[in-house]
Structures are given as structure tokens and as C-alpha cells.
Amino acid sequence: AQTVTQSQPEMSVQEAETVTLSCTYDTSESNYYLFWYKQPPSRQMILVIRQEAYKQQNATENRFSVNFQKAAKSFSLKISDSQLGDTAMYFCAFMKQGSLRDMRFGAGTRLTVKP
Amino acid sequence: EPEVTQTPSHQVTQMGQEVILRCVPISNHLYFYWYRQILGQKVEFLVSFYNNEISEKSEIFDDQFSVERPDGSNFTLKIRSTKLEDSAMYFCASIAGPPGTSENNEQFFGPGTRLTVL
């Protein structure tokens, strides 16, 4: 079974600074997808960024980028130039390729951006 | 931009009562999911649904739960006899194509229904 671990329950960062959220996962699969979702106080789940495991290049999306280390099974999220609107819960998620099953989510990291 | 919608946003019910949570997935999507999130905990998979039948379900999805796509647009989750521990946020999600393909692997989530069981 796949498991996703987020070891930082809470983090804070000053506005405009950079923060990195950690995620590790455990799987025997070789083809899969990894995601970071943001859940603001509104509780909506919003996709931030995704990474295909077969791609060596790290995904980037504006101020968000990942450091994907397949051998180490690590998938960290870097937020540059943090903004107050980035304050949210961040969930790392794993999905096996070709499966009709769900994504597996980590426990989440609560990020607070301070003015 | 198309979005998944859910109603109601908040449902309060008495223990033992039946509830139906409603979702309208994005219109051209074919795969549907329900998740729940107990307050302060991680998001947990309940069930996936494709071609008018359950594809997979978790151990949480016991006989008290059922899903239905009654009219080609709505996707419902029914809890037959609610328990206190069913209190949670319930998220519906949908995907356009086969999950795990590179083009259609984004799950679009609805805003959730907060279920409170008293």
C-alpha cells in the first residue's frame, strides 16, 4: 500500500520569503503521479502543482516548484515570494498510474504566512 | 472555468437519520469520487465510481454508505443511519478521463459539504 508522510504539521514564513514543505512517500510502483493541494480556510481543495514520476524535470508553476527525488521518494514543495494568500493547509498526494482508485493524501502541513 | 459543485454546504442531522449529499461533477467528466475529512485530519478516500457502478471503495465505505448517479448529472452519497463519527467534511471530485493518464489526471474537487451529526 502506498503511504504519504508529511512530517511538518505546522510551518510559518514571513511574507516575501521562501518556504519548503516536505513530503515523502512509500510505494513499489514505478509509474505514478504526485500532487500538492492547497486547502485555504474555505476548505476547498485546490491543485497547486503536479509531477509525473517518469519526468526527471521538476515541475514549476509560477512561485511554486517541487524538488522531486524519485530514488529517495521525496517530493517537497517550495513556495517563493510567499504571499498572505498562501496561508492554508497543504496536502501532498500520490496516485498510482492506471488505477481507478483515489489519491493517497498526507496528513497536511498548516502554513501561515506572516506580514 | 468549469467546476464541481456540492449541496448543501452544511448539513446538520440527528444521529440515526439518513442524509444525502449531492454533487454535480464537471459535465464531460466520467470518473467520480467521494472523500471525507474529519476535522483536523487527513483527506480519506471513500469510493470511486465509473460507468454507473462503484469501481473501488475503502474500508470506511461500509453498508451504511451508498452512491448513485440518478440522472446523468448529479452524483450522490447517501448515509443510511448517521453516526456521530460521520461528522466530517465530504468532498466530491471528478476526472475527465482514465485516472493516471498524463492528460487527464487532475481531480477537480468540489467545495465540500460539512456534515454535523448531533
Q: How far apart are CA B110 and CA B118, in angstroms?
A: 24
Question: Are the Cβ atoms of A100 and B112 closer than 8 angstroms?
Answer: no
* Whole-Å CA distances, A110 to A4, A7, A89, B42: 16, 11, 4, 12
Which stretches of A1-115 are DSSP H helices? none
pLDDT tens digits for range B35-57: 999 987 888 889 999 888 998 88
Q: What would the CATH number be for the domain defined by B5-97+106-117? A: 2.60.40.10
What's the pLDDT at B96?
80
Give A13→chain B minimum CA distance, Å.
Answer: 21
* Domain that residue A14 falls in: 3-114
Whether B67 shows a pLDDT value over 70: the answer reads yes
- pLDDT at position A52: 87
Between B8 and B96, whose confidence is greater? B8
Considering only alpha carbons, which residue of chain A is nearest residue B50? A100
Shortest alpha-carbon distance between residue B102 and chain A (Å): 8
pLDDT in tens, A44-62: 788 899 998 888 899 999 9
Q: Which one, of A88, A77, A91, lies nearest residue A113 by Cα? A: A88
Residue A16 sits in a domain of what CATH number? 2.60.40.10
Stated as kind and residue range, the H or E segment containing B105 is none
Model confidence band, residue A71 (pLDDT cutoffs 50, 70, 90): very high
Q: Which residue type, as a one-letter code, is found at position B18?
A: E
Longest dimension (CA), chain A: 43
**Does residue A24 contact residue A42 with C-beta atoms inside 8 Å?**
no
The H or E element spanning position A49 is: strand A46-52
Domain count, chain A: 1
CA quadruple B36, B49, B69, B34: dihedral, nearest 10: 10
Q: What digits encode the pLDDT tens for the residues B84-94? A: 999 999 999 98
